[in-house]
Structure formats: C-alpha cells, structure tokens
Structure 1
Amino acid sequence: MSKPQPAADLAYAHLRDLLLSGAYPGGELLSEGTVAAELGISRTPVREAFLRLEAQGFLRLYPKRGAMVTPVSPGEAMAVLQARLLMELFALDSLSTEPDEAVRAVGEDLLALAAREATEGSASPTGPILDTARDFHARLMRAGGNSVLAASHAALWDQQIRVSAASTSRPAHVAADIEEHTALARALADADRAAARDLLTRHIGAVGHRIGLAREPRLPSPC
C-alpha cells in the first residue's frame, strides 16, 4: 500500500501544473488561503510549495499579500535559449567525435523517448510532457561526456522550463516539439552528424519563435 503524498508535495504539484498550463498568467497574485481551501489542506504546506516555486523562478513572494506569478521577459527567454544552444551544441559536437555505433545508440535511445513523448502528448497535461522533454535534453547532455556541463544544464532547467512551458502552451506546439525531437533523434540514429546539428539549432530557434521572440537565439559567428 503506497503512502499518501505529503501535503506540501501535493500543493507543489498542483500549482506547478497550473503554472505550466498557463492557467495562472504572469502578474497574477496567488493567495495561500485560496490554494489551501481548493486542496483542503492547511496554509503551511502551501507556503512551502510557494517557497519551492519561488526558488525555481515561478513566483515572487510578498509577505502577508501572497505570491505573484513571475512573467518571463523577452530578455530572460533569449538568454536562457542562448545558454541552451551553447551547451547542447557542445554536447552534440562532443558526441559527434565518437564512432558511428555510439552515435547511433544515443539516437535509438532518444527515439524511444520521443515515442514516449508522443504517447504522453495525446493523453497527459503539460507538466509530464515537459518532464519528458527535460529527460530528452538531459540524455543528450550526458551523451556529450562532460559531467560538469551536464550538471550546469540541469541547474539551468528551472529557468528553461518556464520558457519551455510557454512554448508548449498549445497542442500544436506540443506536437511540433515532439516532431522536432523525433527528427533530431532519427538523425543521430542514422549517424548523420551535420543534420543533427542543424536540427538542434532549428529546434531551439523554434522555441523562441513559438514564444514570440523577435529573433531566433543564435550563437555569434567565430571571428
């Protein structure tokens, strides 16, 4: 028999799913009392959930007033996507120096994960989809073989996920994200290194396009 979920974890999961689905737009003020009443729990676990979400950048707490949903500014979104592009291209380039069979093995692993995304995309809320997307990119980072960079990428994900949430707020966006993951994974499964690099660059650029950035995130050209 499984143990009941702790109230703070319940509140966190509830709020996170609503934030990721766009039910709480940027600038909205949330009340501990209202959330506690909705879930039938006390305010203390809701306060703990607020603190966790503040640490992840989702909320900004105001004593005795509540928590404001933090908007994602265009500047923050661009910086996050540029950091992603820099790290993930480095990982992909590192993987590309490996023998074909190693590159293909990573591609097959990512293809299986993309297939799971497709199943979740037709049946699950936004939160689980973003968790699977996180796993997809984390596996790519680990395949690059630089554990320090992979850890930095994971630490950045709390900011990434806020941007990713905005980019998967519609079913068509979710479908496009999964299609892009599948194409990238297939290129790796074919050991087509050049295609994989191009697809990764376009994939992260498409995230910027879907959230309305005026220009796509790109790395500066070497001198």
Structure 2
Amino acid sequence: MREAFLRPQAEGFLRLYPKRGAQVVPVPLSAGRDILQARMLLELFAFDSVAGRGDEAVRALGAELTAVTAVTEQHHAIAHALTSGDGAAARILLSEHLTAILRRLGLHDRPLTLPAPPAATA
C-alpha cells in the first residue's frame, strides 16, 4: 500500500505521516478552472463517443443517467436531452452546468471553452 502512495506524494497530492497515515493535499481554488476544464473534456469525449454509436445509444445513456444521477435540475436536464436523442443540447447543458459551478466558486471571470463536436461522417 505504501508504494501506491509514493507517486501522489512525489507529485504533491498527498502528505504521508509515518505510522499515522496519509492526507490528501487540498487543491487550491485557483486550480478549479483547470480541473473543471479537464472534466468537461472528459465528459464531452464520453458524450461524443456514445453519440458516435447512434441515437439509440444516446437515448439509452439518457435513460441510465435519469435513473442514477438526476441529482440536480441541471443533471436532470442533461439526462432528459440525452433521452430525447438531443446530444447537441446535452453538450450545451453540460457547459452551462460546469460554468455554474465556476460561478459558485467565484472563478467565473470567463466561461469554459466548449470544444466543437466531431464532424459527422457519412
């Protein structure tokens, strides 16, 4: 177990206390924008990957998200857009959701950059 903590400690993510345990180092608020930008890229990649499998896959993802993660109205709206087969609306709603998080954290000096969806192939 100790070896698993060495790399995060070396990168400054963990503080190790011999014979007492480990503590996750708090992420500075200034890193919030970068973290949410990375989250957006990962989630949009996931959306686009599902969309590439067709409308039925998008609707199935929406149904699954509705059953599991409709925690906030924003989550519900994203899941509803997917269930309706509207991946483009889901992408926009995701951007709005993450921008709202930035606003609540006081990091909303500029909106997150929403990458363009991949071009449809014929």
Report how far residue 191 of structure 1 moved.
Answer: 0.4
* Residue in structure 1 matched with residue 112 of structure 2 by the alignment: 218
* Structure 1: runs of 5+ lacking an equivalent: 1-47, 118-177
From 185, 191, 205, the equivalent of 2:85 is 191
| In structure 1, distance between residues paired with 2:89 and 2:56 | 17
Report how far residue 74 of structure 1 moved.
Answer: 3.1
Identity value in percent? 47
| In structure 2, distance between residues paired with 1:68 and 1:98 | 41
Flag the 1:216–1:179 CA change in 2: closer, same or farther, 3 A.
farther
The residue identity in structure 2 corresponding to 1:99 is G
* Residue in structure 2 matched with residue 202 of structure 1 by the alignment: 96
From 114, 118, 122, the equivalent of 2:69 is 114
* Residue in structure 2 matched with residue 165 of structure 1 by the alignment: none
| In structure 1, distance between residues paired with 2:54 and 2:45 | 17
**Relative contact order, higher structure (CA 8 A, sep 6+):** 1
| In structure 1, distance between residues paired with 2:74 and 2:51 | 19
Normalising to structure 2: TM-score of the pair? 0.68
| In structure 2, distance between residues paired with 1:195 and 1:214 | 22
Report how far residue 113 of structure 1 moved.
Answer: 0.6
From 20, 26, 45, the equivalent of 1:90 is 45
Normalising to structure 1: TM-score of the pair? 0.40
| In structure 2, distance between residues paired with 1:213 and 1:186 | 28
1:60 is paired with a residue whose SS is: strand
CA-based RMSD of the aligned residues comes to 3.3
* Structure 2: runs of 5+ lacking an equivalent: 117-122
